[in-house]
Amino acid sequence: MLDRCPVVPVVVLDDPAHAVPLGEALLAGGIDVVEITLRTAAGLEGLRALGKLEGMLVGAGTVLVPDQVDEVVEAGAGFVVSPGFSARVVDRAAERDVPVLPGVSGATDLMAVVEHGLSEVKLFPAGPLGGPAVVKALASPFSGMRFMPSGGITPDTMGDYLALPPVPAVSGSWMVERTLLAEQRWAEVTARAANAVARARRWREASGRRTGSRT
């Protein structure tokens, strides 16, 4: 899943009416994957609306318990993201046949991930944990694992992560800040998305790796 787009926006939605124009703005900027969090009451309805937008892969974030897996899958989620590792959430996602990215913060979490047969995870919160250095440290004993760092990622630091072979994608919120959505500044969302994809492409080319973006 992480090969689809190198930058995954993490959205905290306050108004479900903003979901479709937001998705259209991201697609115009070259991003066709988005994570809608369940941090607000509008999250589930927004996910349902975005799931109908052609060309956009919509995932649900901040999934904490198995019942939420059922809710988001029925709303059209194409993948599930959690801030930490929950065996029950991972197992329910497997039962519903939907990809899951559990959050990890260290080797103990990764041991549990390996036991469940997963090879892609969300590293959270990546910045406070130590940034690219912690990816390198964890990737050594878990050589087959692929990471999506999240938390503290900025346009200026994303390249440090994407230059690492086990990092096919990063996630962040700078492209979809809540003020941009509240003010319906869709052109700015498109511009930030396009800038992020262009930066990812340059960093990947500089390191001899393909960007993974479909743009």
What's the pLDDT at 25?
98
**List of residues 6+ apart from 10 with CB closer than 8 A:** 35, 37, 61, 150, 171, 172, 173, 176
Q: Is residue 213 part of a domain?
A: no
Q: Is residue 100 part of a domain?
A: yes
Q: Is residue 126 part of a domain?
A: yes
What's the pLDDT at 209?
59
* pTM attached to this predicted model: 0.93
- CATH number for 83: 3.20.20.70
Number of compact structural domains in the chain: 1
Q: Is residue 211 part of a domain?
A: no
Q: Is residue 1 part of a domain?
A: no
Q: Residue 48 in contact with residue 76, Cβ under 8 Å? A: yes
Q: Is residue 210 part of a domain?
A: no
Residues annotated as part of the active site: 35, 122
Kindly give the confidence (pLDDT) of every residue in the chain, 215 residues in length, as a single tens digit, with 9 standing for 90 and above: 899 999 999 999 999 999 999 999 999 999 999 999 999 999 999 999 999 999 999 999 999 999 999 999 999 999 999 999 999 999 999 999 999 999 999 999 999 999 999 999 999 999 999 999 999 999 999 999 999 999 999 999 999 999 999 999 999 999 999 999 999 999 999 999 999 999 998 887 777 755 444 43
89 conformational bin, left if phi > 0, alpha if psi -120 to 50, beta if neither: alpha
Q: Is residue 2 part of a domain?
A: no
Cα–Cα distances in angstroms (integers) from residue 68 to residues 77, 83, 107, 164, in the given order: 11, 14, 26, 33
Q: Is residue 61 part of a domain?
A: yes
What's the pLDDT at 213?
43
Per the structure, the complete domain to which residue 115 belongs is given by: 7-205
